[in-house]
Amino acid sequence: MRVLYFAWVRQKVGVAEEEVSPPPEVRDVAGLIAWLAARSPGHAAAFAQARQVRAAIDQEFATPDAPLAGATEIAFFPPVTGG
């Protein structure tokens, strides 16, 4: 699956996007965050306060318990500040 990062999440991770293949036991957004956080110190810093990170699955906002099944694009970002 493709993972996208925006704003300070992107800065901390160090890349704007990456392809990942999490193991089958990673089933939901919270599980993916825990798995990604172990990939590098940058990932760990980005997800250190996971409650401040929002997610989208295939361009729709998703909660931590949202299942990943069938998802092709997951995005992580801070709470939005547009308008």
By the criterion CB under 8 A, which residues form the site for another protein?
4, 6-8, 56, 59-61, 75, 77-83
Task: Tell me the closest approach of the beta carbon of residue 10 to another protein, in angstroms.
Answer: 8
Task: Tell me the closest approach of the beta carbon of residue 70 to another protein, in angstroms.
Answer: 17
Phi, psi of 27 (to 5 degrees): -110, -25
Q: Give strand pairing partners of 62.
A: 55
| Paired sense of beta strands 73-77 and 54-57, if any | antiparallel
CB count within 10 Å of CB 29 equals: 24
Task: Tell me the closest approach of the beta carbon of residue 7 to another protein, in angstroms.
Answer: 4
Nearer to another protein, 36 or 55 (CB): 55
In whole angstroms, what is the distance from residue 80 CA to residue 41 CA?
A: 24
Nearer to another protein, 22 or 78 (CB): 78
Nearer to another protein, 52 or 65 (CB): 52
